Amino acid sequence: QVQLVESGGGLVQAGGSLRLSCAASGRTLISYAMGWLRQAPGKEREFVAAISWNGDRTYYADSAKGRFTVSRDHAKNTVYLQMNNLTPEDTAVYYCAVNRGGSLYSPRQYDFWGQGTQVTVSS
- The predicted-structure confidence for 52-83, as pLDDT tens digits, reads as follows 999 999 999 999 999 999 999 999 999 999 99
Provide, for the chain, the percentages of residues in helix, strand and coil under a 3-state DSSP scheme, each rounded to the nearest 5: 5, 50, 45
Mean pLDDT of the chain: 95
pLDDT at 98: 95
- Position 26 scores a pLDDT of 85
Q: 3-class SS at 88?
A: helix
Q: Is 97 left (phi over 0), alpha (psi -120 to 50) or beta?
A: beta
Give the Cα separation of 66 and 83 in Å (integer). 10
24 confidence band (pLDDT: 50, 70, 90): very high
Question: Tens digit of pLDDT for each residue in 27-55?
Answer: 888 889 999 999 999 999 999 999 999 99
| Higher pLDDT pick, 112 / 38 | 38
Please tell me the distance from the alpha carbon of residue 34 to that of residue 55, in angstroms, as a whole number: 9
Containing H/E element for 120? strand 117-122
